[in-house]
């Protein structure tokens, strides 16, 4: 599977910033999690259907009962869409 350059850049930046604060990437997705027992902090690099790039969403998922998924119980979009045009401008 070939990973596009903008996804590689997102993955690298997320790993450098989120891994040191104990967030863990869910599989090969753009979802990063910090499990705190009864709540989970979520950072999501949301793609667009129309352009290469990303939104940044942050959320809390309350884990008050067992479930197999994560809900964005309290969430915020932290940035407008950042479109990938080239490597230099995308990383600014």
What pTM was computed for the model? 0.86
Tell me the H-state helices in the chain.
5-18, 87-90
Rounded to an integer, the average pLDDT of 49-74 is: 90
| pLDDT classification of 1: cutoffs 50, 70, 90 | low
Q: Residue 28: which domain range? A: 5-90
Better-scored residue on pLDDT, 16 or 86 = 16
Report the alpha-carbon distance of residue 82 to residue 54 in Å, rounded: 5
- Number of compact structural domains in the chain: 1
pLDDT of residue 92: 63
Strand runs (DSSP E) across the chain, as ranges?
Answer: 24-25, 31-35, 39-46, 53-62, 74-83
The tens digit of pLDDT for each residue in 8-58 reads 888 989 999 999 999 999 999 999 999 998 999 999 999 888 888 899 999
Report the alpha-carbon distance of residue 58 to residue 75 in Å, rounded: 6
pLDDT of residue 45: 93
């Amino acid at each position: 599977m070939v990973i596009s350059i903008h996804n590689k850049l997102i993955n690298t930046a997320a790993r450098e910033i989120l891994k040191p604060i104990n967030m863990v990437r869910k599989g090969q997705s753009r979802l990063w999690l910090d499990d705190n027992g009864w709540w989970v902090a979520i950072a999501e690099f949301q793609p667009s259907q129309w352009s290469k790039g990303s939104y940044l969403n942050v959320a809390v998922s309350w884990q008050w009962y067992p479930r197999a998924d994560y809900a964005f119980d309290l969430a915020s979009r932290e940035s407008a869409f950042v479109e990938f045009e080239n490597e230099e401008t995308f990383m600014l």
